Structure 1
Amino acid sequence: MRKTVLYLSAASLLLSSYTLKNDKEYSLAEEHIKNLPEAPEGYKWVVNEDYTDEFNGKRLNAAKWHAKSPYWTNGRPPATFKAENVSVKKGCLRIINTVLSPTEGLDGKPGDKYRLAGGAVASVKNQAHYGYYETRMKASLTTMSSTFWLSNRPVMKEIMKGGKKIKTWSSQELDIIETMGIIRSVNPDNPWNKTWNMQMNSNTHYWYQEQGGKRTDNTAKRSDVVSYMTDPSAEDFHTYGCWWVDANTVKFYYDGKYMYTIKPTTKYTDTPFDRPMFIHIVTETYDWEKQVPTAEDLKDKDKSTTYYDWVRAYKLVPIEE
């Protein structure tokens, strides 16, 4: 009986400690609500715990995050994704970019398709829907990306076209921030990416494919623009967020300040962004940046790491009278 009491006391203490830690993390996210856009009349913001994490533990919370995305298992060459490049330390989620030796093929098999590695963390749950999503992040000082975005997998629908019933596939992607700490490849005739590390690079993609046809990427222009410009993304931590208002409207914010709105294309449907998504936190290589990091570039682990201080999510609920 005495041992049982002792075991119960120890278990209660552990549970109490865990609860206090969770309460503390929840309170930080709740306190942050004051920095969000004003909620519509009759509603209030509440923390969406499924996608909120302060990263204050010693390892990635496996109940919330996959250390390697099951949705996107191989990266864009020459960089793939490795779970071992992901860690949690000193209050940050960290994704380090490294050189692969030896090189690899798809799924870690022998080959020379990949010679670098980043990371792709993904949320376990895939029901992130309308609400506010934000991260506090410091990009790596490399030509590999530092990103935070939402996406879902294609679904099939049947529609009538030309008097015939055809199958169509569609999916969504909501890029809250895509950046790199250093830009080296700038086309003098088309210098669109010259200041890419000092801009709020956000986008919406509506992927569409008809049976027997090609998959097309439909993006949308930004409207109501206040500014595109930000501080350099690798110099310090900054917050990047979006308010996914509804199926037709996404508003973007930098350090709590409104930047612009994107309205996804309605070319194929009146409600293009109506399906829930999962979250991706990724470092990768882009095909337009030809000067990818070298072994010398990646020697400094601090410079080759992207740091995520926290990820926070919120949803609107009616105010009870």
Structure 2
Amino acid sequence: MNVEKEINTYQIKQMNWILILICIVNCNMIFAQSSPIFLKGEDPKPENKKWKLIKNMSDEFGGKKIDAKKWQISGQGWIGRAPGLFLAENVKVSDGSLQITTTKMPKKVKKQGKEFTHGGGYVGSRFGMTYGYYECDMKANKTFMSSTFWLINEGKGLEGCDKRTTELDIQECVGQIVNKAEWMKYFDQSMNSNTHSRNIPEGCNYKKGTSKAGGPAGGKVYDDFHVYGVWWKSKEEVLFFLDGKLIKKVAPPSDFNITMYLRMVVETYDWNPVPEDGGMTGTKEERTTTYNWVRSWKLTE
């Protein structure tokens, strides 16, 4: 009996140590989320401020399905750019990540007067924000279709000169380049970022235009995960970060001061057409864009 008691005591101690280790790991994970991902010396925040996580625009994707309170997956009125149709079944949460898989549909689908042959996916935040830091840990798919992370305003409820479009592209890339134009030469191995101003109402004193940013990813965008981030600092200044390092600072073409919403979209581009073989010859993993997490932050005193 004494031997059995000793064995049981030993097992209990072992279990306690395992629980302690699990707690340490979880605590470290929580600590890692106390601020955005920056390399040493790259955090741009002022000394008298700190980063606060905005939970309704952040997700670690640890559940079994998309959090419908935070995200919408039907396109919010946008069905996709032909020939790529947004399909809800192409979006799922699995293995601690958000996954959007590209597909070739068994037959053509006609919607809104256009023909669709391929399936993509759309995830949009239900909540919006203005100035802050937005980042994701993403691995691109290996197809001609896109892998993206960006923000855009919504026209609903806006009036007058605010009924314009501001768009902040943090990362948009493709895994297979079909268009041989010089400007697309590195679109599968770089962070491609933009600020856009368009759809200016008549009589409003805003400029239409684009400010470009970005830099090399150090390899193909589908080879590994990268942290793509942006500090939307003010209406006049936007800073882009790749893997925690400042890549470029730009001034938007017009005031960036309207609430914008996060978008994670896999779509087709009319300037990178479907290849002759249909573009879906890879494995499911190769055809999937994966987001390990998405985080939004705001500066507080």
CA offset digits 1:252-287 (Å, max 9, x no partner): 000001100121113xxxxx1111111100000111
Aligned to 1:170: 164
Alpha carbons of structure 1 residues 201 and 184: separation in structure 2 relative to 1, 3 Å: same
**Counterpart amino acid of residue 33 in structure 2:** A
Aligned to 2:89: 84
CA offset digits 1:113-151 (Å, max 9, x no partner): 1010100100111x2221110010000001100000000
How many residue pairs align between the two structures? 271
Alpha carbons of structure 1 residues 151 and 106: separation in structure 2 relative to 1, 3 Å: same
**Counterpart amino acid of residue 50 in structure 1:** N
- Give the aligned CA root-mean-square deviation in angstroms: 2.7
Aligned to 1:250: 238
Alpha carbons 2:103, 2:280 under 8 Å: kept? no
**Counterpart amino acid of residue 174 in structure 1:** L
Aligned match for 2:59, one of 53, 62, 72: 53
Residues 1:198 and 2:189 are matched in the alignment: yes
2: CA distance between counterparts of 1:139 and 1:33? 19
Q: Deviation of residue 101 (structure 1)?
A: 2.3
Alpha carbons 1:136, 1:309 under 8 Å: kept? yes
Aligned match for 1:264, one of 235, 249, 252: 252
Q: Deviation of residue 24 (structure 1)?
A: 8.5
Corresponding residue SS for 1:57: coil
Alignment of 1:133-152 (within 5 A): 133-152=134-153
2: CA distance between counterparts of 1:259 and 1:32? 16
Query: Identity percentage over the alignment?
Result: 36
Gaps of 5+ in 2: 1-22
Alpha carbons 2:36, 2:135 under 8 Å: kept? no
TM-score by length of 1: 0.77
Residues 1:29 and 2:11 are matched in the alignment: no
2: CA distance between counterparts of 1:179 and 1:91? 23
Aligned match for 1:115, one of 107, 114, 117: 117
2: CA distance between counterparts of 1:250 and 1:31? 18
Alpha carbons of structure 1 residues 257 and 183: separation in structure 2 relative to 1, 3 Å: same
**Counterpart amino acid of residue 230 in structure 1:** A
Residues 1:285 and 2:268 are matched in the alignment: yes
**Counterpart amino acid of residue 228 in structure 1:** G
Aligned to 2:160: 157
Residues 1:209 and 2:206 are matched in the alignment: no
1: CA distance between counterparts of 2:244 and 2:79? 33
**Counterpart amino acid of residue 154 in structure 2:** R
